[in-house]
Amino acid sequence: MFGESARALCKRKRNEFKSGSVAMASVDKGKSTKKQKYDRQLRLWGDHGQDALENAHVCLINACATGTEILKNLVLPAFTIVDGHKVSGDDAGNNFFLTKSSIGRNRAQAATELLQELNNDVSGNFVEESPDKLLDNDPDFFCRFSLVIAVHLPESTILCLAAFLWGAGVPLLVCRTYGLIGYMRLVVKEHTVVESHPDNALENLRLDHPFPELKKHIQSYALENMEKRDHSHTPWIIVMAKYLEKWRSEHNSRCLRAIQKKKLFENLFDKISSGVDELLQDENSKNIKAQVFINQVEEDIGKLKSCVNSLLQENGLVVNVKDDYIHEFCR
């Protein structure tokens, strides 16, 4: 189920790039109320993330306070609450989505009404049934969901539910709270992360092997002849690349172990960066030392191959497994 959605997302992303500028213009032409309303979270996960949420359908089993809080925070996906219980006085006392007048009514229905009221864009449904009955009579009911959340279920029910959902490929979130203690456990067979928006991505710039156009561009800068002003406005990547060149010409890198190389490079880098304001101010440059990978490639293929074998054996895998992963050109 997830593999499919990942492929669909990748397809959409490719299409978006093609018609990028056109799409941007129509998106920017006046914001619709929905974009305004979800602006703060759109800045976190973008339009695709938002779509994924809006098209999801979540199932909550048991509308106790823990469960309704989860639905409140999700806000966007359609939801279905499965709960066979009636609202008790206790329930109405600790749940924001139940009131005094809910007491005696079916808990799934009562909670759905007050949760639905939170957001007109969302469709909320309820099933007045215990999950045990559903698992007995109509387990396929659970296949339609993007995620099932099970709150305060007895172990026997969870085991049965989990076995079924695992087979169906539907993720399960198991939660329980007890006083000031709580736990949650996520059961997912396989999950694909696409279009992540990481805060501090450490990018491997592969400056030690610049591609031809980049190499040409780097060579077009003559740092020594620059005035301070121009120097401090030179993109830090160029400065880095220049000094990397210089460092390599000064050191025979073959003889040194990786850790020694790294230390030497860092020392040289500290020396030059103290004089370059731009480097100091650029946020990214703080990670400079980590970002420049001095890639080491073992050139002896025979050595590489034997290394793979021993690694596989170390980890208890059959050596033949590597045939599934090694490109035919490398065999």
Partner 1 sequence: MADAEEPEKKRRRVEELSEKMAVDSGCRDTGDWEGRWTHVKKFLERAGPFTHPDFEPSTESLQFLLDTCKVLVIGAGGLGCELLKNLALSGFQQIHVIDMDTIDVSNLNRQFLFRPKDVGRPKADVAAEFVNNRIPGCNVVPHFKKIQDFDESFYRQFHIIVCGLDSIIARRWINGMLMSLLSYEDGVLDPSSIIPLLDGGTEGFKGNARVILPGMTACIDCTLELYPPQINFPMCTIASMPRLPEHCIEYVRILQWPKENPFGEGVVLDGDDPEHIQWVFQKSLERAAEFKITGVTYRLTQGVVKRIIPAVASTNAVIAATCATEVFKIASSAYIPLNNYLVFNDVDGLYTYTFEAERKENCSACSQVPQKLHFSSSAKLQEVLDYLTENASLQMKTPAITATVDGKNKTLYLQTVASIEERTRPNLSRTLKELGLAEGQELAVADVTTPQTVLFKLNFTS
Close Cβ partners of 253 (under 8 Å, ≥ 6 residues apart): 261, 294
Return the closest-CA partner of residue 190 out of 173, 172, 207, 169: 169
Residue 87 touches partner 1, criterion: CB under 8 A? yes
Minimum distance, C-beta of residue 198 to partner 1, in the bound complex (Å): 7
Minimum distance, C-beta of residue 289 to partner 1, in the bound complex (Å): 20
Other Cβ atoms closer than 10 A to 172 = 23
Residue 33 touches partner 1, criterion: CB under 8 A? yes
Q: Which pair of structure tokens corresponds to residue 257? A: 């172990």
Interface of this chain with partner 1, residues 252 to 291, rule: CB under 8 A: 281, 283
Of 24, 163, 226, 330, the one binding partner 1 by CB under 8 A? 24
Residue 86 touches partner 1, criterion: CB under 8 A? yes
Residue 58 touches partner 1, criterion: CB under 8 A? no
Q: Which pair of structure tokens corresponds to residue 135? A: 């698992």
Residue 136 touches partner 1, criterion: CB under 8 A? no
Residue 203 touches partner 1, criterion: CB under 8 A? no
DSSP string, 29-69: SS--HHHHHTHHHHHHHHHHHHHHHHT-EEEEE--SHHHHH
Distance CA 254, CA 96 (A): 67
Judged by beta carbon, residue 47 or residue 245, the one nearer partner 1 is 47
Return the closest-CA partner of residue 83 out of 24, 128, 134: 128
Q: Position of tokens 């990481």? A: 198
Judged by beta carbon, residue 3 or residue 20, the one nearer partner 1 is 20
The site map against partner 1 for 215-254 (x = CB under 8 A) is --------------x---x-x-------------------
Of 48, 152, 289, 322, the one binding partner 1 by CB under 8 A? 152
Residue 153 touches partner 1, criterion: CB under 8 A? yes
Minimum distance, C-beta of residue 311 to partner 1, in the bound complex (Å): 26
Distance CA 49, CA 203 (A): 23
Residue 72 touches partner 1, criterion: CB under 8 A? yes
User: Environment class of residue 138 by beta-carbon count within 10 Å: exposed (0-12), middle (13-18) or buried (19+)?
Assistant: exposed
Minimum distance, C-beta of residue 272 to partner 1, in the bound complex (Å): 20
Of 180, 255, 297, 301, the one binding partner 1 by CB under 8 A? 180
Q: Which pair of structure tokens corresponds to residue 266? A: 């860092």
Close Cβ partners of 39 (under 8 Å, ≥ 6 residues apart): 31
Return the closest-CA partner of residue 170 out of 141, 146, 191, 140: 146
Residues contributing to the site for partner 1 (CB under 8 A)? 24, 27-28, 31, 33, 36-44, 62, 64-65, 69, 72-75, 85-90, 92-96, 99-100, 103-104, 118, 152-154, 176, 178-181, 198-199, 229, 233, 235, 281, 283
